[in-house]
């Protein structure tokens, strides 16, 4: 039996794609010029802006009171508390929450929610992921009567337990995508 060059090419392409299919590789976006869809970017930014605004407000210098005042769902790391979060429709959860007398730290997970069925900002038909997600860490230092001074740490990935709550085609976007 002889094989044709086109049959060999098809077999090669199938074999080359197999590792990608088996690992469940998802799309990812990194950096300011990542090519992320504008609608999904704005959805993430709307959740992120609310958190940033809270950090810019004057505080009484009490990190614990600041954290208690956050009206953001918390994830305790368990599958049960993850299941209670409604991240599939878009939203924010904080986790790994800690505080001292002068500082507060927490990690943030944001899911865009479903992308609306509209054309891209460039007027083209959209053909990317239905949802994007990001996560990063915040460390805030509190001084008396001034807003906290916050530092952001960009994460390379997000907790799998939270990612598994999202649609299968959801794509990771580094926190750097939304800076600037």
- Whether 82 maps to a domain, the answer reads yes
- The Cα–Cα gap between 117 and 126 comes to 8
Q: How many CB atoms lie within 10 A of CB 12?
A: 10
- Whether 137 maps to a domain, the answer reads yes
What is the average per-residue pLDDT within 142-156?
80
- Whether 15 maps to a domain, the answer reads no
Q: How many CB atoms lie within 10 A of CB 125?
A: 7
- The Cα–Cα gap between 106 and 56 comes to 16
Measure CA 29 to chain center: 10
**pLDDT tens readout for residues 21-68:** 333 455 898 877 788 999 999 999 999 887 777 666 656 668 887 788
pLDDT for res 131:
97
Backbone angles phi and psi of 140, in degrees to 5: -115, 130
- Whether 78 maps to a domain, the answer reads yes
- Whether 155 maps to a domain, the answer reads yes
The domain total for the chain is: 1
pLDDT for res 56:
64
- Whether 4 maps to a domain, the answer reads no
Average pLDDT taken over every residue of the chain = 82
Backbone angles phi and psi of 83, in degrees to 5: -65, -25
Host domain of residue 35: 27-178
Please indicate, yes or no, whether the overall pTM of this predicted structure exceeds 0.85.
Answer: no
């Amino acid at each position: 039996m002889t094989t044709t060059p086109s049959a060999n090419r098809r077999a090669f392409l199938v074999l080359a794609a197999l590792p990608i299919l088996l690992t469940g590789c998802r799309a990812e976006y990194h950096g300011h010029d990542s090519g992320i869809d504008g609608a999904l970017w704005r959805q993430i930014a709307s959740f992120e802006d609310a958190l940033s605004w809270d950090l810019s407000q004057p505080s009484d210098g009490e990190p614990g009171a600041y954290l208690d005042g956050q009206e953001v769902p918390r994830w305790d790391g368990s599958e049960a508390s993850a299941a209670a979060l409604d991240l599939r429709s878009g939203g924010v959860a904080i986790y790994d929450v800690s505080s001292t007398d002068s500082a507060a730290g927490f990690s943030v997970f944001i899911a865009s929610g479903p992308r609306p069925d509209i054309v891209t900002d460039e007027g083209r038909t959209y053909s990317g992921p239905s949802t994007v997600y990001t996560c990063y860490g915040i460390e805030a230092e509190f001084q008396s009567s001034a807003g906290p001074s916050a530092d952001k740490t960009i994460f390379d990935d997000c907790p799998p337990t939270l990612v598994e709550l999202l649609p299968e085609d959801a794509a990771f976007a580094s926190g750097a995508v939304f800076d600037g």
